[in-house]
Chains A and B, each alone.
Chain A
Amino acid sequence: MKTWQKLRAQPELLDRYLIREQVADGIRHHFKAKQFHEVETPLLVAYPGTEPFLEVFSTELQVTDGQTKPAFLITSPEFALKKLLAAGVGNLFQICHVFRNGEGLSSRHNAEFTMIEWYRVQADYRDVMKDCEELLVDLLTQVKGLDKDRDELILTYQGRAYDLTPPWPRLSVAQAFEQYAGISTADLLDTKKLLRIGQKKGYKVDSQTTWEQIYHQIFLNEIETKLAQSHQPTIIYDYPVSQAALSRRKKDDPRWAERFEFYLAGLELGNAFSELTDPVEQEARIKADLALRQKLGKKEYGLDQDFIAALKLGMPESAGIAVGIDRLVMLFADTPSINDTLFFPGVEVFDLVG
């Protein structure tokens, strides 16, 4: 039975689907109160984002004279939003659908999903960390009807209580590897040493294995699983510079980039940067990404020259983040799967087995 049919048979299920509406309203209310502008940018574009490991949906635009142009669905509205920052719009956000192909459909993934991205000008990633804390507290109090000043800020998800009271614990990537995996910074950033440690820990390492694979495998197996046990959200910050294509290097230590992610109940909820504003470095990183895409056999497309032009004209110092709304809705609706909060989950749209 499809969800819409189930809702007809069991109207009491509807409440859980309507949490999405409350979360979207809560996000808009939060940012409008902070004087952010809500903007719309295209979902169908000529030059999508260049993350090498994400696959895009591609189609073509038919022009009336019979010409066609390659067209793609965005994996993130990032390029367009940064052009608007260069245009002088100021603090802004967009809530939209984004599309990622080839990731499979699961309890935490849908090929089409809802994202909010927000950007703050004259700010860095520490300001966005505070935004995240304030946003989640606002959503909690609105959705659960709590009083911010009197009630305990507890979110109950799948039988476990999480305290959202700011400030949330902050842990750098270097600290996390040291504390949870017993790996020093010197070993972490040295390819040969990290591969040897990975092998000793029992991960498969052969001549094809890369630093990036072992880095992530240790993170996923030994660090993310520990974060899942915490009764608070955790902010993980300062990533190895190779893991941050669009973020600024730290001024006092160029081995790390000003990027953070925040986790709650074992879920990665958002990914933030102090944005890279240097057009020369940005163009070089995008070209490297596009070359890697080719090597990995991903869809090929050009570089968004407009985006580089915007950086050359001058994008203000800013920081921004993308947060998956479906996962927030799942947390506030207290369901084990995002599919329990979507009227039309992808598995039903495409008649796949759940």
Chain B
Amino acid sequence: MATIKAGNISKGSYILFKGTPHLVTKTEFVSPGKGSAFVRTKLKNIITMNTIEFTFKSPEPIEDVDVQSREMQFLYQDGEEVVFMDPRTYEQLAVPMSLVEDKVGYLTPELACYVLIYQDKPIGVRVPKNVKLKVTVAEDATAGNRVNAPKKPVTLETGISIQAPLFVKPGDMLSIDTETGQYVSRVN
């Protein structure tokens, strides 16, 4: 565990706050004009998943939490659990669905992800920045206004729906940005 200054914590890092590890989901510099510097943060408690706001003094020391990230493959989803496997040891690990949240629609068998582990417990999952998914449903494109790069909804193999260009057909493989949920390209 290392100590860093609150002014240097960044979005996406883990810190110990009131004895519990929290994910930093937002940081913003605050200077009350006639005062010293502060950092307004949004922190997500990784145990309870509650989000709170807290403003730190910028020079205040914060404990950085040691979170391990372990490369694992997605196996299957079972009710409220998502199961991953270590491809070297074949060890399986069940991650609560609440930790995978909106990323579950990007998971296909054998997809390599990073499972974040704190004190031997999974606390989150990082999926690749881009994933490839097959189109299962796409209506025929309608011609018309092409000036503003028109889009249409398509359904992907995992059941999620995204906006894609009009030329996309069922059976196409698409590259999807997992941070924004947006279409990147066709990768047939």
Contact = CB atoms under 8 A, between A and B. Distances in A.
A209 B33 CA distance: 19
A98 to B, nearest CB: 12
Task: With a 10 A CB-CB cut-off, give which of A53, A212, A220 has the most chain B CB atoms.
Answer: A220
Interface stretch (B55-63, B103-111, B157-165, B179-187): B55-63
A281 B80 CA distance: 67
Given A51-B33, A204-B61, A244-B34, A217 B55 contact: yes
Interface in A94-113: 103-104, 106-109
| Interface size range on B against A | 20 to 34
A240 to B, nearest CB: 10
B113 to A, nearest CB: 24
Interface in A195-241: 202, 204, 208-210, 212-213, 215-217, 219-221, 225
B52 to A, nearest CB: 10
B53 A53 contact: no
Contacts of B33: 51, 53-54, 271
A53 B55 contact: no
A96 B34 CA distance: 20
A220 B28 contact: no
A5 interface: no
A217 B32 contact: no
B61 A212 contact: no
Contacts of B59: 208
Contacts of A221: 53-55
A186 interface: no
B28 A53 contact: no
Given A53-B37, A204-B61, A220 B55 contact: yes
A10 interface: yes
- Best-surrounded residue of A9, A216, A219 (most CB of chain B within 10 A): A216
B29 A109 contact: yes
Residue of A104, A109, A208, A210 with most partner-chain B CB within 10 A? A104
16 contacts: A53-B33, A53-B35, A53-B36, A104-B29, A107-B28, A108-B28, A109-B28, A208-B59, A215-B35, A216-B35, A216-B36, A217-B56, A217-B57, A220-B55, A221-B55, A243-B35
Interface of B: 18, 28-38, 40, 53-57, 59-61, 148-149
Interface of A: 9-10, 51, 53-54, 103-104, 106-109, 202, 204, 208-210, 212-213, 215-217, 219-221, 225, 243-245, 268, 271
